[in-house]
A and B are shown apart, each in its own frame.
Chain A
């Protein structure tokens, strides 16, 4: 929603004349115009979003999870709203690799944001098969390895909640990813997220994204049944933000700061202030998920807001802000 020019923003704009700020980032070797991505599963394959916002203004775009074969996904209801959040149990419904390559990749190829393909599977072989087929595609910058989906019976989160399994799958797919950036998406449903981040980094992850959703349940008390057909779903939205910020900070301090592996921070981001919290906590870039459903143009306001924050605080380069928590 366009906001009118307030006295404050007028002052800032004029007072900042002559100053400039660089909000571009180098994300594991990929040059991003700004640090804002859309999160996997919340913006399809970008074509739907294009009706409502200028996708080319984004720093990066992450596709819905792709599996080797198409997946129908779970029965409905697949979502339910909760206080300041929602549960989803989509079940990785997606068009499958072949159709993705034929129908969606040509659209993504024309777009300027760095494109990351989120990959999911039931077996390590399935993950590798998808990545090998896409590794030579110049349209994509990298992969996001989804080992944290809580809504499928096999694969998904079962790879992401055991450090041994994280290491095994990361090193197995590293070769398949070829020259592309390999980002590993972590589940928050673990006792110590740093252990998982460490396992991924040691096994060759070029970047870490966190967090995926929390496994959760909403009960219909009249029917005494879970609302979701899948019984449980993943909690996302503003409700999870403080936990996500904490986890980013923990992984930054305990794992990535020393080795320079960048973090993509996400979970509940609605505003530039939310995004900046993640960056101060240690994220090099951020992703917006659930909020796209409410404000499809929200990411653009966030990018602008980050710029304003930097100007206001005399930050010449956004990179200075990453991990600057005192």
Chain B
């Protein structure tokens, strides 16, 4: 649980760089109470960003397939998690890795240094730390990577003895939200994903079409690794973030092998702060076969995978 006081803050944009075809990295600077609150943000926590007053790119710069969507007036804030948080002397820089998928994320691309945005956060519960474990497995599907990058950094800093291994999957190489290091030395050492290599974390890449790394789902890649790793299940923990089908499979694998597993869920959110009940996630109750709905924004977004009932 976050100890910091959540609230509504004005953040200054300090950078907004394109890092992939439809993928950007936005740096937000918080000062004062915002710097304190976001300085304590735990990996997996998120924030609600108001993009309704941010301009759209000029029409020529809007990808053809998003032109209809770009016409939609937006009013609701959008939830984003963070890929990195850096506390400086009197400010905190929190970074968002985002993918352009609709009207709000399109608007996000036009933010530039000096602009400001209204941010509500930090929200929800983050990942719990891998205390007592020997190896943390970070499983990222599609755009599910951002909070795992932050988690990798925090584990490295606070639990340097715990080994981390990253698995990242996407449909194609193009859709991997990472820079790949494909030189011989990097491949040999397993330091393929630049962002994880930075923390000296080995990584495995998979693509559905085989355009990079393992051909198939990232969860299949994980199973192969688990079969060959020779480690005890109780020493492992899986952290998953990505599409629900991937998380469902990860939960199954964890269950079969009795490995602890935490996953970060996504739901459509109107408020992000527990007011509206829109973000229901189906959960098991103790004993009886009954299920209940928990709120992704408040009770999650990180859940113990054993708790969840995934859609078939």
Which A residues are within 8 Å of any B CB, using their own CB? 1, 41-44, 48-49, 51-52, 64, 72-73, 75-86, 88, 90, 93, 237-238, 290, 292-297
Chain B: which residue is nearest A72 at the CB level? Answer: B293
Beta-carbon contact of A81 and B120 below 8 Å: no
Beta-carbon contact of A83 and B72 below 8 Å: yes
Given A44-B275, A52-B8, verify A293-B298 contact (CB < 8 Å): no
Among B82-90, B204-212, B223-231, B276-284, the one that faces the other chain is: B276-284
Beta-carbon contact of A297 and B275 below 8 Å: no
Q: Is the interface of A mostly helix, strand, loop or mixed?
A: loop
Given A1-B118, A296-B120, verify A48-B273 contact (CB < 8 Å): yes
Chain B: which residue is nearest A47 at the CB level? Answer: B274
* A80–B269 alpha-carbon span in the complex (Å): 9
Q: Which residues of A contact B268 (CB under 8 A)?
A: 76-80
Least CB distance, B264 to chain A, in whole angstroms: 16
Q: Which residues of B contact A76 (CB under 8 A)?
A: 267-268, 278-281
Q: Is the interface of B mostly helix, strand, loop or mixed?
A: loop
Beta-carbon contact of A73 and B276 below 8 Å: no
Q: Which residues of B contact A48 (CB under 8 A)?
A: 273-275, 298
Beta-carbon contact of A293 and B271 below 8 Å: yes
Least CB distance, A267 to chain B, in whole angstroms: 14
Least CB distance, B28 to chain A, in whole angstroms: 16
* A274–B284 alpha-carbon span in the complex (Å): 44
Q: Which residues of A contact B298 (CB under 8 A)?
A: 48
* A165–B13 alpha-carbon span in the complex (Å): 55
CB of B75 within 8 A of chain A? yes
- Contact flags B285-302 to A (C-beta < 8 A → 1, else 0): 000000111000010000
Which B residues are within 8 Å of any A CB, using their own CB? 6-8, 10, 50, 52, 72-77, 118, 120, 267-281, 291-293, 298
Least CB distance, B280 to chain A, in whole angstroms: 5
* A133–B298 alpha-carbon span in the complex (Å): 30
Beta-carbon contact of A88 and B270 below 8 Å: yes
Q: Which residues of B contact A42 (CB under 8 A)?
A: 275-276
Q: Which residues of A contact B77 (CB under 8 A)?
A: 293-294
Given A78-B268, A80-B268, A292-B271, verify A41-B76 contact (CB < 8 Å): no
Chain B: which residue is nearest A236 at the CB level? Answer: B270
Beta-carbon contact of A72 and B278 below 8 Å: no
Beta-carbon contact of B75 and A238 below 8 Å: yes
Least CB distance, A265 to chain B, in whole angstroms: 20
Least CB distance, B6 to chain A, in whole angstroms: 6
Determine which residue in B50, B267, B280, B281 has the highest number of CB atoms from chain A within 10 A of its CB, and name it.
Answer: B280
* A41–B6 alpha-carbon span in the complex (Å): 22
Could you list 28 examples of A-B contacts with CB < 8 Å?
Answer: A1-B10, A1-B118, A42-B276, A43-B275, A44-B277, A48-B274, A51-B7, A52-B273, A72-B292, A73-B277, A73-B293, A75-B280, A76-B267, A76-B268, A76-B281, A77-B278, A78-B279, A80-B268, A82-B72, A83-B72, A83-B73, A84-B75, A86-B76, A86-B270, A93-B293, A292-B271, A294-B76, A297-B8
Q: Which residues of A contact B291 (CB under 8 A)?
A: 72
Given A79-B270, A294-B76, verify A73-B275 contact (CB < 8 Å): no
Q: Which residues of B contact A77 (CB under 8 A)?
A: 267-268, 278
Least CB distance, A145 to chain B, in whole angstroms: 20
